[in-house]
A and B are shown apart, each in its own frame.
Chain A
């Protein structure tokens, strides 16, 4: 599990942090170029961009090693190229027959879950949870530090 002790920083977290911060930087360049205050729609777009950056950085940090990250990357790429009209065949309906009923809901939440069997779905969920936790921690800490630094800066 991720440890927050100073002695052993989590390598996954480091990777996540670096990628996420890079993405945030790109975003903030865009933000600084536009005049403030942003409109509501603009603000909402930015929020969504931040969220997408979070998931994108998560997926790219994990790489193609995991099924969920592959699925996420595929989804992001397809969104980028605007091929959402493509019909991907409903895969492996037999998977639904062999899994417990609760797993049907789980495969909706975890990216790429529909095309996995129960066993791998559970392991993917575990890893996904780990990465989500790390991502949330990073975002929290960035938020805290930025707010605190702006408030408690000694000049």
Chain B
């Protein structure tokens, strides 16, 4: 236990530094004040359910709690002091983050707290700080996915922690990108795929400067609704053109209509062909001059019909 404490104290300040950098609150100027602040709000003497001095057990839970603590700190802008000491210890100890957490700390701002907990005491402390976090005892590696929807990786790192903790001095900890838990890997893959699709959608939808995923989704939904509405409106106003558009795609049966309709039919035929080839510029041309671009095979037939009608 002493080893553990001294170990923690070693990394105390350096970890604190990173916490300061990445958390969003204004910490007291000195680390001591920070410590005091955190310690004052903790309930250090809460029940420690550790049966005895089973160091391994303590350390494994300690590590899990360390990582969870770390994540809490970063996301909630809170620092929670945790006491890892056994009930026999008297002096309060700050619950530091091991050095390995620094990699995660760098990625910190995107973290959200993992909920997995092994320890009732830690849970009590957590509850004190992060009331909104739902926590259950002995929630080991399978925290509710709904809560960890966007932070499955951090939790997986936490989950892998108990397995990796064999000795107190070992700093081996699964990095964020190397979590070995299959659940976490699948989760991460799924998340990446969704992010890819969102990016692709962003390019389709105009006004894609939304950085937030939720507002981007709203934008997408609005755009789809807008397009559907456009189809509806256009179908409402189109019936004049619908009647004129009847002789299309080389259907010769419509040519037998009256001359006026026939002329219109010819123009519509041109339009029909154009719609298959090129839309915008040809349309403008047509509008301007009554001429059009079309494949050569059609040009002869249509020009012959147009010379008949345009005189």
Contact = CB atoms under 8 A, between A and B. Distances in A.
B282 A6 contact: yes
Contact of A51 (B232, B263, B278): B232
B1 interface: no
Interface in A1-56: 1, 4-6, 9, 13-14, 17-18, 21-22, 24-25, 27-29, 31-32, 43, 46-48, 50-51, 53-55
Given A31-B239, A147-B241, A150-B244, A137 B221 contact: no
Nearest to A133: B227
Interface size band for A: 35 or more
B224 A118 contact: no
A122 B239 contact: no
A100 B281 CA distance: 42
B238 interface: yes
A78 interface: no
A125 B224 contact: yes
B243 A153 contact: no
B24 interface: no
B90 interface: no
B278 A142 contact: no
Interface size band for B: 35 or more
B69 to A, nearest CB: 28
A50 B220 contact: no
A126 B274 contact: no
A21 B230 CA distance: 18
B302 interface: no
A132 B228 contact: yes
A14 to B, nearest CB: 5
Label chain B's interface by main secondary structure: helix
A144 B279 CA distance: 11
B269 to A, nearest CB: 10
Contact of B278 (A6, A46, A102): A6
A32 B243 contact: yes
B282 to A, nearest CB: 7
A107 to B, nearest CB: 10
B238 A25 contact: no
Interface stretch (B8-16, B25-33, B194-202): B194-202
Contacts of B280: 4, 141
Contacts of B241: 142-143, 145-147
26 contacts: A9-B277, A14-B277, A24-B248, A25-B247, A47-B239, A48-B235, A54-B234, A98-B145, A118-B194, A125-B201, A129-B220, A132-B227, A132-B231, A136-B227, A136-B231, A138-B275, A141-B279, A141-B280, A142-B245, A142-B271, A143-B234, A143-B238, A143-B241, A145-B274, A148-B287, A149-B286
Given A27-B242, A146-B244, 16 more contacts: A4-B280, A24-B242, A24-B248, A31-B243, A54-B235, A55-B231, A100-B149, A100-B213, A122-B198, A126-B197, A129-B205, A133-B227, A138-B275, A145-B271, A145-B283, A153-B263
Interface of B: 145-146, 149, 190, 193-194, 197-198, 200-201, 203-205, 213-214, 217-218, 220-221, 223-225, 227-228, 230-232, 234-249, 251, 263-264, 267-268, 271-272, 274-283, 286-287, 290, 293, 309-310
Interface of A: 1, 4-6, 9, 13-14, 17-18, 21-22, 24-25, 27-29, 31-32, 43, 46-48, 50-51, 53-55, 97-98, 100-103, 105-106, 109-110, 118-119, 122-123, 125-126, 128-130, 132-133, 135-150, 152-155
